[in-house]
Structure 1
Amino acid sequence: MVPPEEIAAFVIDAASQAPSVHNTQPWWFGVHGSRVTVHADTDRRLDVADPDGREMLISCGAALFNLRLAARHLGHTAEVRLWPDPERPTLLADVDLIPDRPATADERRMFEQITRRHSHRGGFTADRPPTGLSSTLGAEARREGAVLRVVADLRAIRALAGLSEVAEQTQRLSPDHVGEIARWAPAPGNRRKDGVQAGAYPREAAHTDPHFAARDFARGQGWGRTEARHLTGDRTGTVVMVMTREDTAADWLAAGQALQRVLLRAAEDDVSAAFHTQALEFPELRAFVRERYCDGAHPQVIMRLGHAEEETGGGVRRPEAEIARDEP
């Protein structure tokens, strides 16, 4: 029998591989026997872009899904209680790991994508995702209480692309936004285990049509990886949005779990995601997207899906000693 502390270490390691806004990794985990607790680390919230903590909780939701999936990989069921202590609002979940049936082949296959999945920053190749993948991903999102909408109308795609450009340029005009990006996009050669490293984005942003603006992580310093021209795709890919019917903290956490379930399922077909959530960081633009393109649902994530020729590899991750603690 595997000791509880080894099980906890295994599921926490899987949880820590989740995507997070600017790779802030805004979480920590407590361990008490066969229980793992999930906490939001508010010191890692983007105070300028995300003052309400919406993107922070989406990130934590992705980590929670990985934790649940890792438990199943070990043949355990993860019994989750959200916000178990009203006096500790950053304690997001108690997760009891209970021995259960062995993992299914489908669960094992999805678990294997945790370390394969990576965020993409650029264009995609002309290869189209498999037929029926959009329907599959939509079903996966619904399992977590969210909605995945494929934006099929070219006019709507162009509008969302334009909004991403407006938001990106507005953020570049804000010293506070620029300073926040600088905090989480360090110069090359650093030894940090968080943030967006220079090897995670291209030196020259791909210009897709319609064009979705890329984050200015290099801030005019010429940082980023050099890509061979023949390896740089220029297709926009499939534009999708993750949405929720309501807009509470619980919905943000659900959106993160749905997002990660979708990303892992897509990774099984070598489909990557490029995120473009700048417009959702402005309340007025997010309200506009909701009214015009979401039928009243609340947009949580805007992203493009497609095949990327060049693998960028996984991002840096904080060591276990920084994110795991004994829970009294």
Structure 2
Amino acid sequence: MGGYGGTDLLKAASAGIRAPSLHNSQPWRFRLADGTIEVLADTSRQLQVADSGGWAMRLACGAATYNARLALAVISRPADVVLAPDSHQPDLIARLTPGPPRPATYPERNLFAAIARRHSHRAPFWPDPVPADVRVRLLDAARSEHAWLELLVGMTALTGFSEIAHSADRVLRRDLHYQAEMITWTDADSAADGVPSLADATVTEPQDLLPQRAFNDRRRAAGRDYEPEPLVGILGVAADRRYDQILAGQALQKVLLTATDAGLSASMISQPIEVPSAREQLRRSLRRSGYPQLALRLGYGQAGRLTPRRDVSEALVPVAARLP
């Protein structure tokens, strides 16, 4: 079977753009090159303050790569994937080459169907606990993509994480440049990128266990707690190179889609990763090898809004073009 064509590229990119990204910045591009599909980082959409090193951009592009893999698998054109294939092209995230054709598996079809439903859920979750078998599925999803997921059990672990997360959030709130950049990515509901101004989280109150981004100034009724005991997971990988961050992005997306397929909702907590001292404190607190890449808040809740996306055509790079 020959290389990928324009139709394959469109299917892969249409799925890829539904990946999550910090502040919904959508820092990815897709290109057809000699019968392969390439996923590239769009550095023009990199957050210069919040993500000066490109960690979040690579995580997002890794997640987009995983979505593209699923899109190709469900049309019986699964890809052999090489991450960070060229050290001389640091913005080249992944190269997808056609592998032997085969029918899609049931898990691949289920995860692909979840792409269109997955979104960040910032509203409070219901008190229903996440069953043990679903937790195992989440752990297996991370492990299958060469990552680990640490689910925090008990209030001692949650309280420890809460202190680290709130400390990091306070550092970021004091950074005027950081806050100014975040405001530029907080848009009206009609925008094709950024976080909608009606994002469904309310302002963090002093008693809240976990911090929330200040995307709006809405407050909840006086005296109401946000969530008493959410399920929090920390996603990590063995090292912290460019390659590892892309790897973590793929694992992140498989975990998120697995959660969606199981009826769960999720939101991402990146403040403890964005502040180096907090990240190191979190790494030590987990007492395991490797580097945390993101924290996830998981639970059951009412369906929320899908975040907007730019048209897929804006994410396609002409065949002969090269990113600056």
- Using the size of structure 2 for normalisation, the TM-score is 0.90
For residues 152-167 of structure 1, what are the structure 2 equivalents within 5 Å? 152-167=153-168
8 Å contact from structure 2 (residues 192, 308) kept in 1: yes
> Counterpart amino acid of 1:156?
A
Q: Deviations over 1:9-41 (max 9, x none)?
A: 011100110111111111111123642111011
| Residue from 214, 217, 221 that aligns with 2:215 | 217
8 Å contact from structure 2 (residues 151, 234) kept in 1: yes
Q: Tell me the CA shift for residue 209 of structure 1.
A: 6.8
Return 5+ residue gaps in structure 1 as ranges. none
* Alignment partner, residue 193 of structure 1: 192
Q: Tell me the CA shift for residue 327 of structure 1.
A: 2.3
Q: Classify the secondary structure of the residue corresponding to 1:128.
A: coil
Greater displacement, 1-10 / 55-64: 1-10
> Counterpart amino acid of 2:186?
A
Q: Tell me the CA shift for residue 272 of structure 1.
A: 0.9
* Alignment partner, residue 239 of structure 2: 246
For residues 1-328 of structure 1, what are the structure 2 equivalents within 5 Å? 4-32=5-33, 34-98=35-99, 100-186=101-187, 188=188, 191-202=190-201, 204-205=202-203, 211-218=209-216, 220=217, 222=218, 234-309=227-302, 311-328=303-320
Q: Deviations over 1:217-245 (max 9, x none)?
A: 22x4x5xxx9999xx97344211100111
- Using the size of structure 1 for normalisation, the TM-score is 0.89
Q: Tell me the CA shift for residue 296 of structure 1.
A: 3.6
Greater displacement, 167-176 / 280-289: 167-176
Instruction: Classify 1:108/1:73 alpha carbon distance in 2 versus 1 (closer, same or farther; 3 Å).
Output: same
8 Å contact from structure 1 (residues 210, 236) kept in 2: no
Q: What is the distance in 2 between the residues matched to 1:208 and 1:103?
A: 48
Q: Classify the secondary structure of the residue corresponding to 1:52.
A: coil
Instruction: Classify 1:131/1:95 alpha carbon distance in 2 versus 1 (closer, same or farther; 3 Å).
Output: same
Q: What is the distance in 1 between the residues matched to 2:249 and 2:92?
A: 16
Q: Classify the secondary structure of the residue corresponding to 2:195.
A: coil
Q: What is the distance in 2 between the residues matched to 1:239 and 1:294?
A: 16
8 Å contact from structure 1 (residues 4, 33) kept in 2: no
Q: Classify the secondary structure of the residue corresponding to 1:76.
A: coil
Q: What is the distance in 2 between the residues matched to 1:263 and 1:235?
A: 22
Instruction: Classify 1:98/1:295 alpha carbon distance in 2 versus 1 (closer, same or farther; 3 Å).
Output: closer
Q: What is the distance in 2 between the residues matched to 1:235 and 1:67?
A: 37
Q: Tell me the CA shift for residue 183 of structure 1.
A: 1.6
Q: Classify the secondary structure of the residue corresponding to 2:198.
A: helix
8 Å contact from structure 2 (residues 72, 79) kept in 1: yes
Q: Deviations over 1:247-276 (max 9, x none)?
A: 111111111101110111111121011211
Q: What is the distance in 2 between the residues matched to 1:266 and 1:208?
A: 29
Q: What is the distance in 1 between the residues matched to 2:131 and 2:107?
A: 18
Identity of aligned residues (%): 32
Q: Deviations over 1:51-99 (max 9, x none)?
A: 2111111111110000001111111111112223322110111112346
Return 5+ residue gaps in structure 2 as ranges. none
Q: What is the distance in 1 between the residues matched to 2:305 and 2:312?
A: 20
Q: What is the distance in 1 between the residues matched to 2:252 and 2:173?
A: 27
> Counterpart amino acid of 2:239?
E
Q: What is the distance in 1 between the residues matched to 2:228 and 2:261?
A: 21
Q: What is the distance in 1 between the residues matched to 2:95 and 2:273?
A: 29
Q: Classify the secondary structure of the residue corresponding to 1:149.
A: strand
Instruction: Classify 1:45/1:59 alpha carbon distance in 2 versus 1 (closer, same or farther; 3 Å).
Output: same
Q: What is the distance in 1 between the residues matched to 2:318 and 2:221?
A: 47
